[in-house]
Amino acid sequence: MDNNKVSCGKVKKPGKRGRKPAKIDLKAKLERSRQSARECRARKKLRYQYLEELVSSRERAICALKEELEMYKQWCAAMDQGKIPSEIKALLSGEDMKAGSNQVKQHRGVKADPSGKCP
């Protein structure tokens, strides 16, 4: 028992701690590696799909906001000329807007052209 240390009645062998390197089945190791790579590619694909959907939804929101801004610019230009747009009259009087002047409510939902392009 020269090289072995005794601690609490247990014999410890000198050398590295941890798991001993055993013969690893090379085929199993390669298959695990392939499976891990497949899973990684699948996760990456899902991540890119999520990001693309996020970008397209933001682009649709931007288009809707641009359209709304353009509508407000037209209203301001009309009011500068002394005309009051019917949509503003309806808003001020508290009436529900009719089918032809439903622009403000339409833009609140942030729905735009599905192609993602602004007019």
Please, which residues bridge with residue 7 across strands?
Answer: 10
Q: How far is Cα 36 from Cα 32, in angstroms, rounded to an integer?
A: 6
| Cβ–Cβ < 8 Å for 14, 4 | yes
Query: Comparing C-alpha atoms, which of 107, 99, 97 is closest to residue 71?
Result: 107
Residue range 67-87: mean pLDDT, rounded:
92
Q: How far is Cα 31 from Cα 24, in angstroms, rounded to an integer?
A: 12
For position 112, what pLDDT does the model report? 47
| DSSP classification of residue 119 | -
Query: Comparing C-alpha atoms, which of 95, 88, 94, 91 is closest to residue 74?
Result: 88
Residue range 25-33: mean pLDDT, rounded:
90
More confident residue, 78 or 4: 78
For position 26, what pLDDT does the model report? 87
